[in-house]
Structure 1
Amino acid sequence: MQQLNLPTYQFKIKSKENKQFIFDSVRKKYVILTPEEWVRQHVMQFLIQFKKYPASLTAVEKELKLHTRKKRTDIVIYNTNATPEIIVECKRPTVQITQATFDQIARYNMALNAKYLMITNGINHYFCSMDTENETYTFLRDLPECDYFKS
């Protein structure tokens, strides 16, 4: 798999019937290793190990309802009040991040109202802080570290 612009992690990878699978530590199962899944697994480990967000408050491929359609977010990190804190949209490394990608995560956030958004293809990362009250956002250099359990 392609080298990403994220820290490297040790993953459990296995082959079966000419397909590769990667162990998802949040879902606790092996999933097919696609280029997008490679990005998703790296981002999850980045959020859990580097940014210290608890795996227990992380949801992967969470289903949500947008009007009458069912969609899936790549990663949602919840706070201790079970409110979405971060929504992450992952694309495979060869996919350019475009306005359509921002529109997609914005639609998801209309249903979830997360405080932060992250869009990545594993190479380029974009971070936003949302102000839902004023319906604005601010681009950030990075996501903050988890501060849920600090006194």
Structure 2
Amino acid sequence: MQKLNLPTFNFKLKSNENKTLIFDCLRKKYLVLTPEEWVRQHFVMYLMEVKKYPASLIAVEKQLTINQLKKRTDIVIFNKQGTPNIIVECKAPKIKITQATFDQIARYNLKLNADFLVVTNGLEHFYCMLDSENERYVFLRDIPEYS
């Protein structure tokens, strides 16, 4: 798999029926290792190991319904009160991050109302904070560490 613009982590990998699988420590199971999953697993580890978010506050592929359509968020980090604090949208490294990507995560946030949004393809990362007073997003250098 491609080297990402994230720290290197040790993942449990195995092969099954000519497919490489990666162990998801949150869902406690092996998943097919796609380029997007590679990014998602790196970002989950980044959140836990670097930013110190507890695994108990992180949900992966959380389902939500928008206009009667079932969607899945890649990663949602909850605060201690159990409300969404950060939404992360992961794309495969070859996928260019465009306005459509931001529109997708903004639609999710209409439902979840998180304070921070992250869009990443593993190579580029965009972090923003919701400024609800002025109804806009403010781009940041990074997301805050867990406190």
Q: Equivalent residue for 2:121?
A: 121
- Matched residue SS, 1:56: helix
Q: Equivalent residue for 1:18?
A: 18
Using the alignment, how far apart are the partners of 2:112 and 2:90 within structure 1? Answer: 17
Using the alignment, how far apart are the partners of 1:4 and 1:42 within structure 2? Answer: 8
Using the alignment, how far apart are the partners of 1:15 and 1:132 within structure 2? Answer: 46
- Matched residue SS, 1:96: coil
Summarize the alignment of residues 24-35 of structure 1 with structure 2, pairs less than 5 Å apart: 24-35=24-35
Aligned residues: 147
RMSD between aligned residues = 0.7
Q: Equivalent residue for 2:92?
A: 92
Q: TM-score, normalised by structure 1?
A: 0.96
Q: Following TM superposition, by how much is the alpha carbon of 1:133 offset from its aligned partner in structure 2, in angstroms? A: 4.2
Please tell me the residue identity of whatever aligns with 1:132. Answer: S
Q: TM-score, normalised by structure 2?
A: 0.98
- Matched residue SS, 1:104: helix
Q: Equivalent residue for 2:101?
A: 101
Unpaired stretches in structure 2, ≥5 consecutive residues:
none
Q: Following TM superposition, by how much is the alpha carbon of 1:135 offset from its aligned partner in structure 2, in angstroms? A: 1.7
Using the alignment, how far apart are the partners of 2:121 and 2:61 within structure 1? Answer: 16
Unpaired stretches in structure 1, ≥5 consecutive residues:
none
Using the alignment, how far apart are the partners of 1:56 and 1:105 within structure 2? Answer: 22
Using the alignment, how far apart are the partners of 1:56 and 1:32 within structure 2? Answer: 23
Using the alignment, how far apart are the partners of 1:12 and 1:81 within structure 2? Answer: 32
Alignment identity in percent?
65
Using the alignment, how far apart are the partners of 1:76 and 1:134 within structure 2? Answer: 24
